[in-house]
Amino acid sequence: MKVAIYPGTFDPITYGHLDIIDRATRLFDRIIVTVARNPAKQPLFSVDERVFMIRQCVDELEAASRIEVESFEGLIVDYARSKKAVAIIRGLRAVSDFEYEFQMALVNRQLSEGIATVFLMPHEHYTYLNSSIVREVALFGGDVSNFVPPLVASLLKKKFQQKNQN
């Protein structure tokens, strides 16, 4: 049973992330999508909200029964070890992702030789996408339906309405 983890901030999850998860399910027996509790970022959605959204979205995938959704704090390699994962999945969208990803992969390898970082390329439709862009479009009332599933789009709308009321 080969387990891989797919860590990220997922604020919020996009079609690009879902594309990577879908691809990963074809390579591994079990995928654990895990939301990082990252003190350096000030996310729009709480960890629980992000976990909820991801759970709902992955339920639509063919391999839903082999995907788990959790959150983690601390080093990703420690979390991976605790889950007996053999790989950390990362998406590579463009050359601009490479340097940061290369650095993380090498640091993680120094910390834990046994855990490989596996890079997957999302569908070319999604190479321009990231969560900040989606948040910005939603903030100004733009249509995000090409970027995120309907549930995420409606929660984004609700979140910004709440923020505007405060």
145 is catalytic: no
Reduced to 3 states, what is the DSSP secondary structure of residue 46? coil
Crossing angle (nearest 10°) for helices 150-165 and 47-58: 160
By C-beta, is 93 or 165 nearer to ligand COA? 93
Torsion angles phi and psi, residue 26, rounded to 5:
-80, -15
Least distance in angstroms from the C-beta of 65 to ligand COA: 22
Given a contact cutoff of 8 angstroms between Cβ atoms, the answer to whether 83 and 52 are in contact is: no
Residue 95 CA from chain centroid, whole number: 19
Query: Which residues from 24-83 bind ligand COA, rule CB under 6 A?
Result: 36, 38, 75-76
93 is catalytic: yes
Query: Which residues from 100-119 bind ligand COA, rule CB under 6 A?
Result: 104, 107-108
Closest CB to ligand COA belongs to which residue? 16
Residue 48 exposed, middle or buried by CB count within 10 Å (0-12, 13-18, 19+): exposed
131 is catalytic: yes
By C-beta, is 24 or 165 nearer to ligand COA? 24
Least distance in angstroms from the C-beta of 111 to ligand COA: 8
What does the alpha-carbon distance between residue 80 and residue 146 come to, in Å, rounded to a whole number? 32
Residue 86 within binding range of ligand COA, rule CB under 6 A: no
H or E segment and range at residue 134: helix 131-139
Active-site residue, selected from the candidate residues 30, 50, 90, 131: 131
30 is catalytic: no
| DSSP character string of 109-124 | HHH-TT-EEEEEPPPG
Tokens 């405060």, residue located: 166
Query: Which residues from 112-151 bind ligand COA, rule CB under 6 A?
Result: 122, 126, 129-132
Catalytic residues: 17, 41, 93, 131
Task: Using CB under 6 A, list all residues that contact ligand COA.
Answer: 7-9, 11, 14, 16-17, 20, 36, 38, 75-76, 91, 93, 104, 107-108, 122, 126, 129-132
